Chain A
Amino acid sequence: MGIFISRRILTAILCIFAALCLNFIIIHAAPGDPVRILVGQDNPSPEVIEALTIKYGLDQPQYVQFFRYVGNLLRGDMGTSIYTGEPVSLMILRRMGPTALLALTAAVLAMVIGTAFGIFSGRRVGSKVDSAIGSISYLFDAMPGFWLGLMLILIFASSLHILPTAGMVDVRADHEGFLRALDILRHMALPVTTLTLTLIPYYMRISRAAVVQALGEDFITTLRAAGMPESKIYRTYVFRNAILPTITVFGIQMAYLVTGSAIVEIVFSWPGMGSFVMTAISRRDYPLLMGIYFILSISVAVMMIAVDLLYSAMDPRIRHTGVKE
C-alpha cells in the first residue's frame, strides 16, 4: 500500500517535471526570438528587450535559465501576463471557479446517468434494449462536443427561445442572491447538457463492461445457489464490483475535464479556463499559456493520485498487497 502510493506520487512528480521541461523546450524551440515571443510584439523597444533578457536570464546559458525558471515556479511565481501585466497565478485562480462549476456538475451528472444506463444495459446484455442503448451511446460518442453545443443552441435558444446561449449571468438583469443563482443555473443548462451528453458514453461503456464481467464471476453463482434474491445480488455484490472501474474513469475524466470542457466553454462563451486559453492564444500571451499548462499538469497529476488513493481504499486487494490486478 505505502509502496504503491509512493510510487504513484513519484510518477506524478516526474510528470510535473516533464511538463515543466516541455514548457521550457517549447518556448525555446518556438520559431523566433524568445524575447519577441515573450513580449508578443514584432518590434519591441531596446529597453524592453534588455529588461526581459535580464529578467529571464536569456543572456545566461540554457541550463541556468532552466533552473531559474524552475526556481521561480517553486516560489509560486509564474510570471506576469504580457497583456494585462497581472500575475498569472491570480488570473488563473479567478477563472478556475466557473470552469469547476461547469465541469463538476457535468461530470457528476454524466457519472450518475451513464453508470445507471450502463448497469441497466449490462443486466440485459445481448437484448434489444441493450443494443439500442449501445447504438445511441455510439452516436453521442462520435459527436464533436462543439457541434452538439451549436445544435442545442440552434434548437433551444434560437428557435424555441427558452434558454440563454452565452455567458454565465445576465449582465443586464444584474440579479442578486437567489435570483442570481437561478440565473446562473439557466445559463448553465445548455453547456452542462452538452458536456454531460458527450461524457455519458464513457461511463456507460465502462460500467456496462464491469457489470457483464462481474456477472460472469463465480461468486455470483455461489450467491444464486445460496438462494439470495436477485435484487440483493445486484444491489450489493454486482454493484460494488462494478462501481470500482467507474470511479477510476471519474477521476481520469475529472483530470481532463478542464481541457475537455474548454471547447464547450468557448461555444457558450462561458467565462472559464477554456475561453481564457483561447484569449491567451489569440493575444500570444505566452507566460499566461505556460502558467495554464503548468497548472493543468499539476491538477491532472493530483487527480490521478486521488483516484489511486480512492481506488485502493475501495479495493481490499490493493489495500493489502499494493498490487493492482
Chain B
Amino acid sequence: MTLLSIRDLCVDYLAQDRTVRAVDRFSLDIPKGESFGIVGESGSGKSTLILALMGLLSKRKALVTGSALLDGADLIAMSEDERRAVRWKKMSIVFQNAMNSFSPVHRIGKMMQDIYFAHCPDSAKAERRTRMEELLGLVGLPPRVCDLYPHELSGGMMQRVNIALSLMFNPELLIMDEATTALDVVTQTQILKEIAQLEEKLDITRVMVTHDISVVASSCENVVVMYAGRCLEVGSVKTVLTKPAHPYTKGLIGGFPAEDEEGSDEEKRPLTSIPGTLPDLGAVPAGCIFEPRCDQSADACKSASVNLASLDDGRKVRCRRYGG
C-alpha cells in the first residue's frame, strides 16, 4: 500500500531576474511501513523537496506544482488550514539543527505543550504535561527535561527531544532531514537503532534525507538518489547500493568507506570523488543532467533527454545506457 505518492513535483525558486528549478518533475511512491532514504550532495534539491511537501516554502519565493498524495489528500493543493491539520498529526519532521529548533528563551516543555495545544485545544493542562513526559520517556529522557532550556542539553539530547516532539501524534510519515548529521558517530548509531525500534512499535514510515550514504545503508529499506532536483536512481537499498547502475550512484558510493558488513570480504578500495560541481539550475543542458560530470558520457547523452527506465530487479534508473 502506498502511503505517499509524489507525481511530477516541480519547485521553482523565484529570484530577482530569473527562476531556478530546484526540483524537476520528481515522482516517487513511498510504500507504507518501508523506510525510505533520499540521498544526494548538498544542493541536490532534497531539502527543497521536503520543504515543499511540508508546505514550508514561502509563496513569494517559490512556486510548487505537481501533486503529492498522502493517504489520498494532496499536500500541494490543500489550503493552509487543511495543511495545518495534516502537519504533525499525519506527517512530522525532525530538522538537522537540533540545538536551534527550540526557542532559546522558552522551556522545552512549554514549546512542546504549545504545539500539543495547537492541535488539541480541549486538552487539560495536566494531560498535556503527562503526554510530554511520556514522549520524552519514549526517547529515553527523564521527565525533568520538560523544565529545562535548550542550552542546558547536549546536541544528542536535543535531537532526542526533537524526535520525541515529532512522535507527538503518532504520525504516519516521519521525515528526518539530516537529523543525525550533526551528531557524533556513536550517538548517531544509537539514535538510529532506537528510531528503528520506535517506528516498528508505533507503525511509522520513515523518510531519511541525508548526504551520508552509510546512514541510508544501515537504516533504510529503499533509497532514491537525487541530483540537481531529479531522481536518478530509485530502488531497494540492497540492489541500488550493492550494485549501483547509475554512474552518479557509483560515484557517491565511491566517496564513502565500505561498510564492514557480513560477507563483504572485498579488498579495501580507495575513496574517490566525483569531479566537477552541480550544474547551474538556471540554465540546464538539453541532454542528461549529469552528463558534464559523467565518466561514461557519450555524444548521445548531450542531446536527448533521458527518462527513468525500470530494470528487472525492480529499480528505476535515469541513464541512457539502461534504455532511459
B323 within 8 A of A: no
CB-defined A-B contacts under 8 Å, sample of 17: A217-B100, A222-B95, A222-B101, A223-B111, A226-B118, A226-B168, A227-B87, A227-B89, A228-B118, A237-B103, A241-B103, A316-B104, A316-B105, A317-B149, A317-B151, A320-B151, A321-B151
Which residue of A218, A227, A321 contacts B95 across the interface (Cβ within 8 Å)? A218
B13 within 8 A of A: no
Q: Which residues of A contact B100 (CB under 8 A)?
A: 217-219
Q: Mark A207-241, 1 if CB is under 8 A from B, else 0.
A: 00000000001110111111111001000110011
In the bound complex, do residue A240 and residue B92 qualify as a contact, i.e. CB atoms below 8 Å apart? Answer: no
Which residue of B86, B105, B149, B151 contacts A240 across the interface (Cβ within 8 Å)? B105
Which residue of B54, B89, B102, B119 contacts A225 across the interface (Cβ within 8 Å)? B54
Cα A315 to Cα B149 with chains together (Å): 10
In the bound complex, do residue A228 and residue B104 qualify as a contact, i.e. CB atoms below 8 Å apart? Answer: no
Which residue of B84, B89, B97, B151 contacts A316 across the interface (Cβ within 8 Å)? B151
B122 within 8 A of A: no
In the bound complex, do residue A218 and residue B105 qualify as a contact, i.e. CB atoms below 8 Å apart? Answer: no
A244 within 8 A of B: yes
In the bound complex, do residue B101 and residue A221 qualify as a contact, i.e. CB atoms below 8 Å apart? Answer: yes
Q: Which residues of A contact B83 (CB under 8 A)?
A: 227
Are A314 and B105 also in contact (CB < 8 A) when A227-B89, A229-B84, A321-B151 are?
yes
Are A221 and B56 also in contact (CB < 8 A) when A227-B88, A316-B149 are?
yes
Smallest CB separation, B260 vs chain A (Å): 35
- Of all chain B residues, the one with the shortest Cβ separation from A228 is B118
Cα A218 to Cα B87 with chains together (Å): 17
- B interface residues, how many (CB within 8 angstroms): 31
Cα A219 to Cα B158 with chains together (Å): 12
Q: Which residues of B contact A225 (CB under 8 A)?
A: 54, 56, 87-88, 92-93, 95
Q: Which residues of B contact A229 (CB under 8 A)?
A: 84, 118
> How many contacting A-B pairs (Cβ < 8 A)?
82
Cα A219 to Cα B115 with chains together (Å): 12
- Of all chain A residues, the one with the shortest Cβ separation from B50 is A225
The 9 A-B residue pairs with the shortest CB-CB distance in the complex, in nearest-first order: A227-B87, A218-B100, A222-B101, A316-B149, A227-B84, A226-B115, A228-B118, A227-B88, A218-B97
B225 within 8 A of A: no
Smallest CB separation, B33 vs chain A (Å): 23
Q: Which residues of B contact A244 (CB under 8 A)?
A: 105
Smallest CB separation, B149 vs chain A (Å): 4
B200 within 8 A of A: no
Q: Which residues of A contact B149 (CB under 8 A)?
A: 316-317, 320
- Of all chain B residues, the one with the shortest Cβ separation from A236 is B114
Smallest CB separation, A150 vs chain B (Å): 43
- Of all chain B residues, the one with the shortest Cβ separation from A127 is B60
B266 within 8 A of A: no
Q: Which residues of A contact B95 (CB under 8 A)?
A: 218, 221-222, 225
Smallest CB separation, B237 vs chain A (Å): 27
In the bound complex, do residue B102 and residue A219 qualify as a contact, i.e. CB atoms below 8 Å apart? Answer: yes
Q: Interface range on chain A: under 10, 10 to 19, 20 to 34, or 35 or more?
A: 20 to 34
Which residue of B54, B102, B105 contacts A315 across the interface (Cβ within 8 Å)? B105
Q: Mark A289-325, 1 if CB is under 8 A from B, else 0.
A: 0000000000000000000000000111100110000
B136 within 8 A of A: no
Knowing that A225-B92, A226-B92, A320-B151 touch, tell me 10 more A-B residue pairs with CB under 8 angstroms: A221-B101, A222-B95, A222-B102, A222-B162, A225-B54, A225-B56, A226-B168, A227-B87, A241-B105, A317-B104
Are A226 and B88 also in contact (CB < 8 A) when A218-B95, A317-B151 are?
yes
Q: Which residues of B contact A315 (CB under 8 A)?
A: 104-105
Most buried by A among B88, B103, B119: B103
Are A219 and B84 also in contact (CB < 8 A) when A225-B92, A226-B118 are?
no
Cα A217 to Cα B92 with chains together (Å): 19
Cα A320 to Cα B151 with chains together (Å): 9
Cα A228 to Cα B120 with chains together (Å): 11
- Of all chain B residues, the one with the shortest Cβ separation from A217 is B100
Cα A237 to Cα B103 with chains together (Å): 7
B280 within 8 A of A: no
Smallest CB separation, B177 vs chain A (Å): 10
In the bound complex, do residue B101 and residue A218 qualify as a contact, i.e. CB atoms below 8 Å apart? Answer: yes
B106 within 8 A of A: yes
Are A224 and B151 also in contact (CB < 8 A) when A219-B103, A240-B103 are?
no
Q: Mark B153-188, 1 if CB is under 8 A from A, else 0.
A: 000000000100100100000000000000000000
Cα A221 to Cα B84 with chains together (Å): 13
In the bound complex, do residue B115 and residue A223 qualify as a contact, i.e. CB atoms below 8 Å apart? Answer: yes
Cα A229 to Cα B87 with chains together (Å): 11
- Of all chain B residues, the one with the shortest Cβ separation from A230 is B80
B299 within 8 A of A: no
Q: Which residues of B contact A316 (CB under 8 A)?
A: 104-105, 149, 151
Smallest CB separation, B42 vs chain A (Å): 17
Smallest CB separation, A230 vs chain B (Å): 9
Q: Which residues of A contact B313 (CB under 8 A)?
A: none
Cα A205 to Cα B149 with chains together (Å): 29
- Of all chain B residues, the one with the shortest Cβ separation from A323 is B151
Are A224 and B56 also in contact (CB < 8 A) when A320-B151, A320-B152, A321-B151 are?
yes
Which residue of B87, B89, B101 contacts A219 across the interface (Cβ within 8 Å)? B101
Q: Mark B63-83, 1 if CB is under 8 A from A, else 0.
A: 000000000000000000001
